[in-house]
Amino acid sequence: QHSFGATGSDAFCYLQMATDLAHGGSARHAFPLGALLWERGLPTWPAAPVGYHPPGPDGVAAAVWPIGWPFVLAGLVALGGEGLALWGAPLCALVAAWLTYRLAREVAPDASPVAGGLAAAILLTSREGVVRALVPMADAAAQALAVATMWALWRARSRDPRDPHALALSACAGGLYAAAYWVRHPLLPLGLAALPACLTTRWTRRLQARHLAIFGVAALLGALPDLAYHWRAFGAPWAAESQEWFLLSWRHVVPSAMAMLRDGGLRREEFGYLAPLVVAGLVWQWRRETRRPAAATLTLGFGGALLLNLAYGALRLRDLLSLFPWLALWAGWGAMALWRWAGAGRHGRRARRALVLLGVVMALSARAAPTLLLPWRGDAGDFGHVSAEQRAGFDALAAALPPEAVVATGLNAGAVTRYTGRETLRPAAWSDDEWATAAALLEARGRRLYLLVDGEEMEAVLARSRALFALAPVGEYAIPCMGRGGQRLPGRAALYTVKVERAVP
């Protein structure tokens, strides 16, 4: 089920940004048709794929996604091209699971190592996590960096205060926190975890303040390159990549939480069957006084990041993947706590342990089964995923198009440009008059225009275009077909030639 490319919006944009960074040193991309449309006074948004801002007069545009993950992928692109970069997310998922185990051992040394192993296994068998790691998405990297931040914070706390390595670990935690912010900005409240991690120690106030200061300074220094990118690409250090800040409001917190529980978090293949274990793990961690500093550290970091995410009005379950390690940890500790409870006392111990073991095994098996069966189902691909057959479809499309062709398409616009070498447009955003004017302009410039119907968005454009142009079918290609919301649709994409029947106005 490994992806053979990337399409859609975020998956494609991350990969394209990484390629541009590796080969050109800039995450922004040039869209020559954008400059042409700007000259004619036409809206330039259709000249860029979904996920990029409208190109300016120079045809250059920045993406709406953070630069942190493309920065990581750029190293893989430089080393082994796109093929190696596509393995970046799966490798990060494995690193996140290993770090989750290490964090479990670090913050709860009195817990069984099996609990940490269970947490890692729970993280690796999340269907949402696995599916998103099949494409070059940032979620697995955000998971790994968030857990690494917690590990370094607690590792620094556990050191002898006179050990100079303790301060170095606090600086390392600040750098990892900055990297987590780079990859996924809503992880910004994760830094709140530094307060209980430092202030619940027996260190002097001066030493506590020193560790917090070092953590903060390292985090700020680590964030400066990202702020510089914002300044250059968007005009101000604090300007966000996306224009969706209006979707942030405290009013969304409760509705978003209910939606995440109803439509995602409590599904069988996520944490529905494991919810009792998560609660048991939380109780176990808070119950004993010696564990409460660690519980406060994990809970404050998790709670702060969760609240900011829930305040986002368009929240989806994948946006919370970076917080799944916490739930996995608590579920692992919960299973261990129930096992220890079942072993207490002299009477009925074997029966209680048998019941607990049976319940935990059944819950874990029922949860993991849908994920473990994905390789045999053949439908593991999600938004942005490109199968081997679909990648061959892009190659066939490239062979059918002349070098000067311009392809009008939908959510596949970026992938068509990347894998066929032809420029693209997304005409759905234009009015009929703007669409007709752009088509006539291209024909006057000697550019042959094609219409690629790759889903619901382009089906509507096809219906409009029949009244504007003379269309002739060319063929069908096995490239991804998508609905307006990015959901996968059956069928093949149809290609048409477009003949303009009026001159440029």
Backbone CA torsion sign across 280, 281, 282, 288: positive
In angstroms, the CA 129 to CA 162 distance is 40
Residue 333: name the closest of 65, 120, 66 by CA: 120
Using the structure block, give the residue that is written with the tokens 């045999």: 376
Q: What is the pLDDT of residues 419-465, one digit of tens each?
A: 999 999 999 999 999 999 999 999 999 899 999 999 999 999 999 99
Nearest C-alpha neighbor of 130 from the set 305, 306, 362, 370 = 370
Query: Residue 285: its pLDDT value, please?
Result: 93
Q: Half-sphere exposure (CA, 13 Å, Cβ side) for 242?
A: 15
pLDDT for the residue 246:
78
| pTM higher than 0.85 | yes
Lookup: tokens for 367: 């949860």
Secondary structure of 297-353 in HEC code, one letter for each residue: HHHHHHHHHHHHHHCECCCCHHHHHHHHHHHHHHHHHHHHHHHHHHCCCCCCHHHHH
Tell me the C-alpha distance between 70 and 274, whole Å. 34
Give the C-alpha separation, 197 to 215, whole Å: 11
d(CA 392, CA 479): 8
The SS3 call for residue 382 is coil
User: Running along the chain, 505 residues long, what does each successive block of 10 average in pLDDT?
Assistant: 86 96 94 93 94 94 95 95 95 97 94 93 94 93 97 90 84 97 95 94 90 96 94 88 83 91 82 93 92 95 96 91 96 94 80 91 91 71 85 95 95 95 94 93 92 94 92 94 86 93 54
Instruction: Decide if 322 contacts 184 (C-beta within 8 A).
Output: yes
What is the pLDDT, as a whole number, of residue 51?
93
Pairing of strands 449-453, 406-408: parallel
Give bridge partners of residue 476 from the DSSP assignment: 494
Q: Give pLDDT, residue 422.
A: 96
Q: How far is CA 333 from CA 136, 345, 480, in A?
A: 31, 20, 42
